[in-house]
Amino acid sequence: MSSPNDLFNQPLAVINIGLKIFAEALQAQAVPCVHVDWRPPAGGNPDLLAVLARLNS
C-alpha cells in the first residue's frame, strides 16, 4: 500500500485552472503544466446563472 509521502517522490505534473500566471511560473521552472482557461458560467452574474439553471431544468 502506498503512503501520502510517496506522492513527493514522483515527478510533478500540474493542471492549472484559473489564473494563467500560476501556470507560467511553473512552466518557467520546467514543471509540466497544462493551463485551463476556466471562467464561471455567465461570468458569475447571479441573474444570468438563475436563467441558465431554469434552462437546464
pLDDT in tens, 1-57: 678 888 788 888 899 998 999 999 999 999 999 999 988 889 899 999 999 999 988
The pLDDT value recorded for residue 18 is 83
The pLDDT value recorded for residue 52 is 92
**CATH fold for domain 4-56:** Rossmann fold (3.40.50)
Estimate to the nearest angstrom the gap between the alpha carbon of 32 and the chain centroid: 14
The pLDDT value recorded for residue 7 is 78
Residue with cell 501556470: 23
